[in-house]
Amino acid sequence: MPTGVHLRDVRKQLFDAAERVLLRDGPNALTSRAVTTEADVAKGVLHRHFADFDDFLAELVRDRIARLADQAALLHAAAGTRTVAENLVDALIELFDPVTVALSSLIFFRDELRTRLRHCGNGLPLLVEAREMLAAYLSAEREQGRIAADADVESLALSLIGSAHLIFAGRPRKTLPDTEELAKTVHTITADAIQRRLL
């Protein structure tokens, strides 16, 4: 088997195992031993492919960030369809799945992991990219005249990400917030920009 294919297979196997541990047991349970046990591989396998456990975690986060590109493209393509609030609610529900919420907590509490991800810019990785995704979508909606021409899309995106993160992270593990609660928050944040488009 070619080395490159083998490496990708092992990485995916370890990443999938890490996500299962996060979902089942939470961020505090995520250790190299927990990951290799869940993946049913020898502990040395992880260290053959990653410099150390923080290197593994950094790559896990980067892999998750890479997945946002697909979601960002779909959200951008949705501009001009349905309502702005409906598109945002759906995007936030998909974005803040339990794995992303658990990884956000992990990034917040692990100094070494944040240090390794510094190139991601100011703020917490994953949430920074999520904010950029929403800002790009809102810019597209502004160009189509569905929100006010002077709407500050960066501030709106930051408010949406911060509020949604609090809603999702504040729930007991393995539960999701009431969609109506999220929709109410999205409507409150975007109401002014949407109403002023008509002025």
147 plus 94 within the same structural domain: yes
Q: What is the pLDDT of residue 86?
A: 96
Q: What is the mean pLDDT of residues 100-115?
A: 86
Range of the domain at 126: 53-198
Q: What is the pLDDT of residue 174?
A: 65
Residue 41: pLDDT over 60: yes
Instruction: Give the list of residues 6+ apart from residue 189 with CB closer than 8 angstroms, or none.
Output: 156, 159, 160, 163
pLDDT at 199 over 60: no
Say if residue 1's pLDDT is above 50: no
Counting the structural domains of the chain, the total is 2
Contact 125, 117 (CB under 8 A): yes
Q: Is residue 91 predicted with pLDDT exceeding 80?
A: yes
> Which of 23-27, 86-90, 170-174 tops mean pLDDT?
86-90
Could you tell me if 13 and 28 lie in one domain?
A: yes
Contact call for residues 136 and 157 (beta carbons, < 8 A): no
- Are 5 and 71 in the same domain? no
Do 92 and 38 belong together in one domain? Answer: no
pLDDT of the residue at 5: 39
* Same-domain check for residues 91 and 38: no
85 in the same domain as 5: no
Shared-domain flag, residues 101 and 5: no
| Whether residues 59 and 44 fall in one domain | no
Residue written as token pair 């709106």: 156
pLDDT value, residue 4 = 41
- Domain of residue 8, CATH code: 1.10.10.60
Do 45 and 57 share a structural domain?
no
List of long-range contacts for 151-159, beta carbons under 8 Å, 24+ apart: 151/193, 151/196, 156/189, 156/190, 156/193, 157/131, 157/132, 157/133, 158/131, 159/189
Mean local confidence (pLDDT), 112-125: 75
Looking at the fold, whether 37 and 108 belong to one and the same domain comes out as no
124 φ, ψ (degrees, to nearest 5): -80, 130
Residue 60 has pLDDT above 90, yes or no: yes
52, 118, 143, 166 from 114: Cα distances, Å: 15, 6, 35, 20
When pLDDT is cut at 50, 70 and 90, the band that residue 163 belongs to is: very high
pLDDT at 170: 75
Q: What's the CATH code of the domain at 121? A: 1.10.357
Predicted pLDDT of residue 119: 59
More confident: 182 or 125:
182
Q: What is the pLDDT of residue 2?
A: 39
Render pLDDT for 165-196 as a digit per residue (tens, 0 to 9).
Answer: 999 987 776 667 778 999 999 999 999 999 87
Residues 16 and 63 occupy one common structural domain: no
